[in-house]
């Protein structure tokens, strides 16, 4: 009989800009980090890591276990970094709704913001492109290696069947 009760944790966060809409990225398997997506009053689409609003963020110094888990020290004001602006230098007027959908790639999420005269669509990679091959990937070498392995497979299969026939005759 376990008499422990759940612990409710809550923290309050603030943002320096008015928010007109809010959403979160979604992926097919849920492996990628989630990002909160905000439409701000100055007609920008901003994003930040969901871990920034984690209620378990410690108020004091971080312990090693908290660092390994990726927690950061609690700060009531969420910084909106201009590098995390999917709309870049474009203005998106009067956004009221932000919708996210998964793609065939786990690292990417499709985001649609709409509501006013503008519609904004972007493909986001919150965890970077961890499931994408780089442009410098040597596809020709991979093809040669696979072809070589197939040839070795058929040669060894032929040798094996020939040996089985000679073993059965002797």
At 81-104, the pLDDT tens digits run 888 889 988 999 999 999 999 998
Q: If you average pLDDT over residues 56-82, what whole number do you get?
A: 88
C-beta separation of 111 from 126 below 8 A? no
Rounded CA separation 102/107 (Å): 9
Q: What is the pLDDT, as a whole number, of residue 129? A: 81
Percent of the chain with pLDDT over 90: 49
Burial (CB < 10 A; 0-12, 13-18, 19+), residue 71, is middle
pLDDT tens readout for residues 106-164: 889 999 999 889 999 999 988 888 888 888 999 999 999 999 999 999 999 999 999 99
Q: What is the pLDDT, as a whole number, of residue 116? A: 85
Give the Å distances, CA to CA, from 25 to 10, 64, 74, 131, 135. Answer: 22, 29, 23, 17, 26
The three-class DSSP label of residue 170 is coil
C-beta separation of 103 from 123 below 8 A? yes
Q: What is the pLDDT, as a whole number, of residue 122? A: 94
What is the dihedral angle through the alpha carbons of 79, 81, 84, 89, rounded to the nearest 10 degrees? 130
Query: What pTM does this model have?
Result: 0.71
């Amino acid at each position: 009989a376990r008499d422990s009760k759940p612990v409710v944790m809550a923290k309050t966060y603030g943002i320096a800009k008015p928010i007109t809409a809010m959403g979160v990225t979604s992926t097919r398997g849920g492996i990628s980090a989630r990002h909160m997506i905000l439409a701000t009053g100055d007609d920008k689409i901003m994003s930040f890591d969901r871990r920034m609003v984690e209620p378990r963020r410690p108020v004091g110094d971080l312990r090693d276990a908290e660092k390994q888990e990726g927690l950061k020290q609690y700060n009531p004001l969420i910084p909106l970094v201009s590098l995390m602006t999917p709309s870049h230098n474009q203005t998106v007027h009067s956004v009221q709704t932000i919708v996210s959908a998964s793609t065939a790639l786990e690292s990417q999420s499709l985001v649609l913001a709409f509501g006013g005269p503008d519609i904004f669509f972007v493909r986001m990679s919150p965890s970077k492109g961890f499931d994408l091959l780089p442009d410098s990937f040597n596809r020709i070498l991979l093809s040669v290696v696979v072809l070589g392995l197939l040839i070795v497979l058929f040669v060894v299969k032929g040798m094996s069947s020939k040996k089985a026939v000679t073993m059965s005759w002797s």
